[in-house]
Amino acid sequence: MSVLKVGSLFSGIGGIDLGFQQAGFEIAFANEIDKDACKTYRYNFENCNLIEGDIRNIDVNSLPYVDVLTAGFPCQPFSVCGNQKGFSDKRGNLFFEIMRIADSLQCPVVFLENVANLTEHDNGKTFNVIHNELARRDYFIRYIIADACNYGIPQHRTRTYIVAFKSQSACETFRFPDECNLTKRIFDVIDKTVKVDDSYYLSPESSQYERLGKAIIDSEQIYRFSDYGIQASKDGISFTLKANMGTWYNRIPYIRDNFGIRRITPCECLALQGFPKEYSFPDIPNTSAYKQCGNTVCVPVIKQIANQIKLLSKGGQFKLQNTHR
């Protein structure tokens, strides 16, 4: 059987791509506009066909055929943490660029990822637009709102996942992965016994150290400053990592390890997103690395969904097309 091909839009550092790759798919092309994110992507994906630049400038005639088109399109227009302008925000309208490319490629499956609030935004009108745009292109859709901690990741990260099929029978047969018991906690993926670079540690003379020192009463939790004071995680499950870690250092979670009180590192953020240990950052500013961590996805969740999609191809539920234009 031929390898299933994926085209990736709004690829970021490749979290969705990595999940599909781990499930046995091949990434035919990817697109990302953020220069530092592109550096990280290329650093970790050898011989990648990464199209760096604005999605609106993509020449669809230059793209190879793919079986699955994926897009973690900009979430700020729909997020409760953003301005929630939806399609009136130019970033929200980038959804229609996904449709432009889907129109050209006519791929059997479209996979979309966005914030949990997507289905509720503007009293459901935003989601209805997305559904109707897919439906008028003869796609049948399934969606789920899922928290990563129910799929093996010690982080609360609730997202909307949409899978759209050209085949009605494939859509009816498709099942999202079952939830599972969480067997890992924060410090199963972050090693408190290893000393990191001194720059991550707070000085014992600082006011932040004093405040956190009083607040950290459970060494198995992770902590962060918020508008409401210092927040602690619960049950060894991290709160959601956010892109604003790259602009507000106070939003980066803190831990007490064997050597002091410190911020978690960008690589530890990746660990909480389920990235493998060998995935790393090139020489980019830490602010960019933290932003990339907050913008990416939980890889194991994507892998599990990709595996469910792959099962249908084995059952002949959607036609594989190997011709390239």
Active-site positions?
75
Those residues whose C-beta lies under 8 Å from the C-beta of residue 188, and which sit 6 or more positions away, are 154
* Cα–Cα distance, 3 to 322 (Å, whole number): 9
| CB neighbourhood size of 76 (10 A) | 16
DSSP state of 252: S
Q: Mind spelling out the 3-state secondary structure of 3-49?
A: CCEEEEECCCCCHHHHHHHHCCCEEEEEEECCHHHHHHHHHHCCCCC
Q: What is the DSSP string of 188-239?
A: HHS-TTS---GGGBPPTTSHHHHHHHHH---TTS-EEEETTEEEE-BTTBBP
In the numeric block, which tokens belong to residue 120? 């509720």
Place of tokens 């996805």: 297
Burial of 226 (0-12, 13-18, 19+ CB in 10 A): exposed
In the numeric block, which tokens belong to residue 87? 């399609």
| CB neighbourhood size of 32 (10 A) | 23
DSSP state of 293: H
In the numeric block, which tokens belong to residue 73? 């399109």
* Cα–Cα distance, 187 to 154 (Å, whole number): 9
